[in-house]
Amino acid sequence: MPLPGTAQPDQAAVRAVLDAALAEGRSALTAPEAKRIADAYDIPVPAEALAECADEAVALADRIGFPVALKIVSPEIVHKTDAGGVRIGVATHAEVRAAFTSIVANARRYAPDATLLGVQVQQMVPAGTEVIVGMVTDPTFGKIVAFGLGGVLVEVLKDITFRLAPASEDDALSMLDSIRAAEVLRGVRGGAAVDRTTLSHLIVGVSQLAADFPEIAEIDLNPVFASADGVMAADVRILLGGPAPAPRRSYSRSEILTSMRRLMQPRSVAVIGASNEEGKIGNSVMKNLVAGGFPGDIHPVNRKADDILGRKAYKSVMDVPGEPDVAVFAIPAQFVAAALEEVGRKGIPNAVLIPSGFAETGEQAMQDELVAIAERYGVRLLGPNIYGYYSTWHDLCATFCTPYDVKGGVALTSQSGGIGMAILGFARTTRTGVSAIVGLGNKSDLDEDDLLTWFGEDPNTQCIAMHLEDLKDGRAFVDAARATVPKKPVVVLKAGRTSAGAKAAGSHTGALAGDDAVYEDILKQAGVIRAPGLSEMLEYARALPVLPTPKGDNVVIITGAGGSGVLLSDAIVDNGLSLMEIPDDLDAAFKAFIPPFGAAGNPIDITGGEPPSTYEATIRLGLEDPRIHSLVLGYWHTIVTPPMVFAELTARVVEEFRLRGIQKPVVASLAGDVEVEEACQYLFERGVVAYPYTTEKPVAALGAKYRWARAAGLLGGRT
């Protein structure tokens, strides 16, 4: 028999089974039907046959060979065990008769109106590790394949991982290593490892089946018995779904870049609802555009004014000269549709919809009307229900919020206005340079994949950080992320950690596919760095452009305090990093610089009372030795080496090595009095990611850099 998923599948056989079931209006296949589909895709299943009476069950058991398993077959009974419809290890003729009678009686009590087609007599499956392989249709990402520990404890342990379908062999192999019980598959306590090749091919085959037949909503192979000799699915459950959702309008990469270029680098902006009245959104937007130094044309539109902030006002956007690149809306929701019609007729390609009062308040129809108008004229919509946007390298501040003009390499986006303002405050407090800050709001049109496509190509953007509550099209986002991650890091804060969507699932796989579990694995598959919270998202965005890309896994801690060294070591492990095992010659070299009561090894404890020269010598050694790939510094505030002295010497040495072409990530944890805050800011501005009062943050930032480097293919090893 070929490996699962490697032979040419018999799609015609699958089509015949599905068409027959759908014609009868059924949403679940019977076990014999599921077996025919499994056979068509070379999914290993036991020998089996359907018995309609006890005598037939005995004859089939004789033919298959004892022991056997017996299972009820009914279109209406999906969870056979719950119905008392399963017996395993049946070893004699008498036991077969008794099991048949009992199963049928249990099924009739469980579902009196169910159609009972008979009892499936099945070959007992060889022993092995019980795993689950499945597929579920996710509302955001579509078909996703699942793998994890299986059997009766599948929904208790919930040790499962997900990937987009169809999955590649590399995806499948990564799934085997992604569950918590991965060591069990490799063999423990003298047990043999499972056949990873066969198991990965089974995952690929199931994912391909799902991709080939969209009407299949869920697939459960549970349990699959995996051993050194191969795999076999003891039970196959296949559920059918309803009609596919209406396709979302899509744009080519070229179309996205063209419209986004005019949005982010406009030559002319019209403000619909511009006002001279203090406190109005239209007044704030105008002030920000003018005071921010936007070099292009600014055209206020207001039916009742001739002049706004010293600029000629127009009664209608149709009267504005030329063809503006962007129309910013600052008018009440009920007037937006009519104004958008004019924007479309004018040929303006982008509308920035600040007003609220649409889908977020239940007015979905009003929002749908805007989308229809925009599609009719080819206008891209940003919003509605947003704070606007900032494009700092073009001196554009198209928002009613406070201005921000510190140019840099970080692009920040948020679905929430409140989070947008937190982003703004963080940027100002930390003096983080940004290339853009963009509000997305209701995402009636433009969303994260449009922004990723643009920022991926934008030379002013080095890192992209996104707060999101949902994705309209998860696959489009994954495609955009995969195109962007090899060039620059993408950090995502996904809000809403809920599994409510799993409650209505009809299979074990579906019940386990909670929203957050799926997002966690698919974002990782896309190479995105997922931040656990808002603070982490902002800190990663600030730190990642500062840190050089590591060239290897060896991390060394140099600390002036033993306690910090222990905590830093814990943080290294927590973030999936590797403490270097120091070879003897390097250990001796470090010992030459530290006092006898210090400690080499890793962490390297130089002790707290050492002068600046000890810090400098050990940091130099860490940068010089090519076997060391990253440094984590732990500083303890003393009068012997004050905070700014430590900061200045560290920054000087790091810069010296960079000028020599030696660039390694260096992060620092500074413990001490309030002076360490200034020292950390000084270090950050000079390429050393440093934080006061914490050992976790600097190492988390380093871990994020490593995760991106691996996802981008710049560093081998773990993912």
69/690 Cα distance (integer angstroms): 62
Could you report the per-residue pLDDT of 564-594, keeping only the tens digit for each? 999 999 999 999 999 999 999 999 999 999 9
pLDDT confidence of residue 330: 98
Stretch (H or E) spanning 547: none
pLDDT band at 78 (very low <50, low <70, confident <90, very high): confident
Could you report the per-residue pLDDT of 368-400, keeping only the tens digit for each? 999 999 999 999 999 999 999 999 999 999 999
The SS3 of residue 638 is coil
pLDDT band at 328 (very low <50, low <70, confident <90, very high): very high
Residue 504 has pLDDT above 50, yes or no: no
pLDDT confidence of residue 500: 45
Average pLDDT over residues 488-500: 80
pLDDT band at 522 (very low <50, low <70, confident <90, very high): very high
| 698, 702, 707, 711: CA torsion to nearest 10 | 140
Residue 318 has pLDDT above 90, yes or no: yes
pLDDT confidence of residue 474: 93
pLDDT confidence of residue 243: 61
Is residue 411 within 8 Å of residue 435, measured between CB atoms? yes
pLDDT confidence of residue 449: 95
pLDDT confidence of residue 505: 42
Pairing label, strands 326-329, 350-353:
parallel
Q: Report the chain's mean pLDDT, rounded to a whole number.
A: 92
Residue 506 has pLDDT above 50, yes or no: no
- Taken in order 329, 330, 336, 342, is the CA torsion positive or negative? negative
pLDDT confidence of residue 502: 40
60/90 Cα distance (integer angstroms): 12
Residue 601 has pLDDT above 60, yes or no: yes
Residue 68 has pLDDT above 90, yes or no: yes
pLDDT confidence of residue 597: 80
Stretch (H or E) spanning 629: none
Higher-pLDDT residue of 700 and 80 is 700
pLDDT above 70 coverage of the chain, percent = 94
Could you report the per-residue pLDDT of 407-465, keeping only the tens digit for each? 999 999 999 888 888 898 998 899 899 999 999 999 999 999 999 999 999 999 999 99
**Residue 253, both tokens:** 């990469």
Q: How many CB atoms lie within 10 A of CB 81?
A: 11
Average pLDDT over residues 626-636: 97
680/638 Cα distance (integer angstroms): 15
The pTM of the full predicted model, rounded to 2 decimals, is: 0.88
Residue 501 has pLDDT above 80, yes or no: no
pLDDT band at 706 (very low <50, low <70, confident <90, very high): very high
pLDDT confidence of residue 2: 52
pLDDT confidence of residue 34: 94
Could you report the per-residue pLDDT of 236-262, keeping only the tens digit for each? 999 998 666 667 788 999 999 999 999
Residue 384 preceded by cis peptide, ω within 30: yes
pLDDT confidence of residue 515: 72
pLDDT confidence of residue 244: 64
pLDDT confidence of residue 503: 44
Could you report the per-residue pLDDT of 329-347, keeping only the tens digit for each? 999 999 999 999 999 999 9
330/301 Cα distance (integer angstroms): 10
